[in-house]
Amino acid sequence: MQPKVGELAPDFSAISDNGQHITLSELRGSWVVLYFYVRAGTNGCSTEAGRFEQALPEFTNKNVKVLGISTDTEASQAKMREKCSLSFPMIPDGDKKICKAYGTIGGLMGLLGVASFQTFLIDPQGKIAMHWPKVNPFDPTKAIFEALDQLQRLEKTV
């Protein structure tokens, strides 16, 4: 079952492919884009990761951390990191605990066992602000920036 907008995002602790220890709750105070992808190194997933990397300076300016998650191994993700020159954390979820907590298992043409293309935007209080259950990996950031601009404007008026 997927967490819903307005609910506290399921917390997790994990080690990224480059050895960085990441605990979601420790990122409170920042916005977080948590994007799930199907398989490291495939065309769509590499393109999606590259788009996030290109947009990283704008995300950083808006106090947003980007995390990519798949059921791939650390080695597969490290290859994709190198191939796509990625600088944000990629989290291997081989035991599928994170993917299950977010309800993202079931991608790749309906085959079970891998994550599907989905994105969650988590607010600075740790709540899910937006969820995109179907993501175009070739243009993953446009809708995020539109929602973020709206939400950050609202945040300033409160």
Which residues are tagged catalytic?
45
Two structure tokens written together for 38: 């199907």
Distance CA 24, CA 13 (A): 7
CA dihedral 79, 99, 102, 64 (to 10 degrees): -20
